[in-house]
Structure 1
Amino acid sequence: MKKILYSFLALITLSIVGCDKDEINPNDGRFGGDSDTAILNFVEDETTGDVTTAISGCGGDTFVTLPISLTLPPTDVYSNPSNSSGLTVNYTIVDVEGSSAGLIEQQGSVVIPAGELSADIVINFPDNLTNTLEFLVTVTDVSRDNIYFGNAENTGEVARTVRIVTGNDIFLGPLAVEEQQVGDPQVYNYTSIATSGANTNEIVVSNIYGENSESQTTFILNPDGTVSFKPILENFLFSNSSVGNIYFNGISGTYSACDGTINIVGELRYGPGQASSIGPINFTFTK
């Protein structure tokens, strides 16, 4: 009986050894034949997605860094890109908002050195902009023809949006919120969206308290770094089946455009004449 078993195991071993690796390559040799073939993409920022934001006028860094990389599809398990000869990546800049001509170089190139798989496109900008700029950085061509743009089908656009903002425009878009009621150890985290208000020093912030993403509360960002608020009835948050409409009442606040933070102390008001309240509550909004 043992001899039969051993013979059976030997047959299985021979069958496995005899398999041709190419027969099970999920890429059918598409990428495996050339170790320099790869997909080129910008590296996506986990927090900002495909938009990179910086601020002008704060005296800090006056450049943005856009990492690019060479990768292979997850299904290619037999090879890795080697980039043995290096790769030159050329790009152009096209305005979306404002005019960057004369302020930012409109085209350029970067080299991914031989043996490496990534490099940084660095965009310099002046620290005295008077208006926000938004532009698209797009890879136009590379120095080898075995590079796929964006995906394995070579049909993607390798592009990234850059916003160089001035003043309070830094707060527009998603804001990370940290909320904590005074006396309560629990901290709540969620996201609000800020849009431009009716006046240049106003932003409209959604989803305060994290209960209604459609709610809109206006913050008035004063020149002295303090925050003011609209009357309570203009700051509806959400409705509750027990107490009815609930509104936000701002008590005090400060902000720093250069730090990208807004700190607010407020409360929820409800009931007849909005006389009942929950709070005070501390809110920190961070870009």
Structure 2
Amino acid sequence: VRPAASRASANGQVSRQSQGSRPSRDLAAARSAPALAASPCTEAVQAKKKSKPKPKVKEKTLSIDEDLLPIPHGLQCVICRDPFKDPVFTEDGHSYCRGCILDWFKAHDARVREFYDVPGNIAPSSRKMPPSLLAPMTQLPLTSRTLQPNIALKQAVEAFRSERPAEEARERERRQLLRKVEEVQAAEGNLKSNFNQELQSGYLSKPLTQEQLGQANVELKAAQEEAVKLQEQAVAVVGDDFDDLAYELEQLEDELLNQSAEELGLVRLPYHTEMPGQRPRFGRPRSQSA
């Protein structure tokens, strides 16, 4: 019994605090309600960035691109932040979309049902009162739910929409641009991942490349040494042939000179012999008398 009494007193304190702060909460809810259903494009962009299956987003039949042409404040509903659709006004004198104000009433009815679902709220000792219906704009109590159509405002909204024939085309173009931007961002992410993979594979294959380079250097040095040997052998062979050719050329020159001198009767060469195996390497062979 004691916990029930304490719970009832606590509920009474909470109810008094809630009654004092309910207008501010309802005002915050009225201000946050348009923001929750404000931008389907933003939700679509966030959904595309996820790797999960893309949810289908319903496109508005008359979506407004606020960046291209802002909506006049007098033609905008305070709940949905869009131009009025079937505008009606309540007893407080403010206009709302018929669908928006009906949803507002439904939300209030849901809060009332939640209130009565709590046994402590309907106890005889409870002093709690069910939440009252407040106007979205003024946060004043609405004693009646009577809705009157605002014909003048409806005509003004229709005239405003008729002046924007290219509205859907601009919205479609903007969504196409957003889609292209997302595709470019996705492609950029793929390129970065591929580059990182190639860079990592390059680091892994770097020791193998150095080993191949070292083997190539060894083979190059061996080829250079072989070339030097071949060059030395070629020089040695060519040197011996050159010595033989030079000796034969000198012999031929001497014979021609001696033949010319004998024909003229100027010189008579002495007879000399050549010892075998003592031929000089360069020039004419020397005589034994010398």
More helix by share: 2
Q: If the length of structure 2 is used for normalisation, what is the TM-score? A: 0.25
Higher gyration radius (CA) = 2
Q: Which has the higher contact order (CA 8 A, sep 6+)?
A: 2
More strand by share: 1
Q: If the length of structure 1 is used for normalisation, what is the TM-score? A: 0.25
